[in-house]
Structure formats: C-alpha cells, structure tokens
C-alpha cells in the first residue's frame, strides 16, 4: 500500500500521518507538495489536519483551490480513496468533494480533547475495521468543526448511511452533552455516495499507539490499507513509539 499525504502551507499533522503510515503500519507513504499538478502513483490520499493558509477567508477555502486539489478531485471522481482529517475534511467540503460545511464551534471555543465516536456505518472502505455501533476514541482539536448541511442534503446523508461517525458519550449514546461543537446530528465524519471519499474532524493519526491512549485510529487506516482482517495487525516496529 502506497499513500500520499498532501502538504499545504500551514498543514501541521502531515508528519504525524507520515509517521503512522510508515513507521506504525509499515506502508509506503510520500509527502505531496500542494503546488504539484499531478498525483504520483498512490493507492490513497490523505489531506492532513492543520491550518492551511492560516484559515484565511474560510477554513480550507484557499487550499481547495491549490493545484494539487484539481488532481485529487479527478482521482477521487475515478474512485481513488481520499481521507480528509480535520482541516482536510474542511478542504474536502470546500472543494465540494463532500457535501456541507464546517462552521465555527457553537460555543465559540477551540476544543482539544479526547472524543468518543459511535460507528454508524462499518461497510465503507475506511470503517470496515470497526463494529457497527462501537464506541471508539480519537482526539479532536479544532475551532471550526460544527458540521452543517441544508435539511435536504442532511436528510440524504442520513437515509443513505453516509454519516460514518457521531460524537457520543462513553456508553455509546449520541447525546447533546456529547456533542463538542454543535454539529448537526452529532456528525463527526461522513462519506460521499461512492464511499471512497471520507472526511472526519477527529484525528485518527493521534490514536494509533497505546502510549497515546488509543489505537482506534489505526484501525481506520488499516481498514483502507490492508486486505487482512484488522484484528490480526501487529505494528511494524517492536513496541517503541520512537521506532
């Protein structure tokens, strides 16, 4: 499996993603500068978290017009798996590869904390390693993660099972108290109709080693990047986080 991680000016989770893909999963992964016009040969693309272009205009709006995004859009429409994390999710919405938009958190605060997410659909490329209804843990770190879509679009997401993850409490219950940012329907992650493009606000790359409190994020990368059952995976290095 060969991954491409796009680097925008202001990306700050690109190295975390590359570390996880290379050192924890043992896959190939290349960094792709945003000014590239052609994607190198890769099996999947990650748009990492960060604050591309300082969140100027709107989060993700300027990055969505980067030369590489035209290539990512063409590849996504041809079926290439694309994973947008945090700012990457915002970029995918701004590029209209995913529906809706991410607004400032309803309480006006930046939230950097562990989050619990209920798996709402485990039949997609990136979520097949989870059980349906399972509560998984990954951190969030964002100021603009309040998912919004107009009522007709949101209804279509619900009916088509395109909502993959919702914020929930420790018992797996989707409640208002468990919603950190005011997202419609507690949405934390969605996919496109074809299932190859997904975006989520939580950071799976920060939940890939037991030392960091959760390995649930690893299962998301493994879902897309491995033919073997996710449970049988062993990290490629021998135990040390520093590899």
Partner 1 sequence: MIRARVSILPKRTVFDPQGEAVRHALGHFGLSGVERVRVGKEIELEIPGEGDPAEIRSRLETIARDFLANPVVEEYELHIEGLP
Catalytic residue among 86, 146, 168, 208: 86
Is residue 237 part of the contact set for partner 1 (CB under 8 A)? no
Helix, strand, coil content of the chain in percent (nearest 5): 30, 25, 45
The secondary structure of residue 105, as a DSSP letter, is P
Is residue 103 part of the contact set for partner 1 (CB under 8 A)? yes
Q: Which stretch binds partner 1 (CB under 8 A): 76-84, 94-102, 125-133, 186-194?
A: 94-102
Catalytic residue among 94, 120, 205, 209: 205
Q: Which of 28, 40, 65, 155 binds partner 1 (CB under 8 A)?
A: 65
Is residue 173 part of the contact set for partner 1 (CB under 8 A)? no
Sheet holding 135-142, edge to edge: 28-33, 2-7, 44-47, 82-85, 197-200, 187-191, 163-168, 111-119, 135-142
Q: Build a one-symbol-per-residue string for 188-227: x at contacts with partner 1 by CB under 8 A, - elsewhere.
A: ----------------------------------------
**Is 239 exposed, middle or buried (CB count within 10 Å of its CB: 0-12, 13-18, 19+)?**
exposed
What is the closest distance, in whole angstroms, from the C-beta atom of residue 197 to partner 1 in the complex? 17
Letter string b/e over residues 46-76, b meaning 16 or more CB atoms within 10 A of that residue's CB: bbbbbbbbebeebbbbbbbebebbebbbebb
Q: Which of 107, 173, 193, 194 binds partner 1 (CB under 8 A)?
A: 107
Q: What are the backbone angles phi and psi of residue 242, rounded to the nearest 5°?
A: -85, 0
Q: Which of 44, 72, 101, 208 binds partner 1 (CB under 8 A)?
A: 101
Query: Which residues are annotated as catalytic?
Result: 86, 203, 205
Binding site for partner 1 (CB under 8 A): 57-58, 61, 65, 93-94, 100-101, 103-108, 146, 148-150, 182
């Amino acid at each position: 499996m060969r991954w491409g991680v796009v680097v925008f000016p202001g990306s700050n989770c690109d190295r975390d993603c590359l570390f996880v893909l290379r050192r924890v999963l043992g896959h190939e992964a290349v960094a792709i500068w945003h000014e590239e016009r052609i994607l190198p040969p890769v099996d999947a693309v990650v748009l990492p978290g960060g604050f591309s272009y300082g969140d100027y205009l709107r989060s993700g709006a300027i990055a969505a017009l980067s030369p590489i995004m035209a290539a990512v859009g063409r590849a996504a429409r041809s079926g290439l798996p694309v994973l947008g994390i945090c700012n990457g999710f915002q970029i995918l919405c701004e590029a209209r590869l995913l529906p809706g938009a991410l607004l400032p958190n309803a309480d006006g605060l930046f939230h950097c904390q562990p989050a619990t997410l209920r798996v709402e659909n485990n039949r997609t490329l990136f979520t097949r390693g989870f059980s349906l209804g399972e509560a998984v843990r990954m951190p969030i770190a964002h100021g603009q993660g309040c998912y919004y879509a107009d009522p007709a679009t949101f209804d279509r997401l619900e009916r088509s099972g395109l909502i993959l993850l919702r914020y929930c409490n420790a018992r797996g219950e989707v409640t208002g108290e468990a919603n950190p940012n005011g997202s419609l329907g507690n949405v934390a992650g969605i996919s496109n109709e074809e299932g190859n493009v997904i975006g989520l606000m939580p950071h799976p790359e920060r939940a890939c080693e037991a030392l960091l409190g959760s390995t649930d994020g690893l299962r998301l990368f493994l879902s897309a990047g491995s033919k073997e059952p996710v449970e049988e995976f062993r990290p490629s290095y021998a135990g040390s986080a520093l590899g």
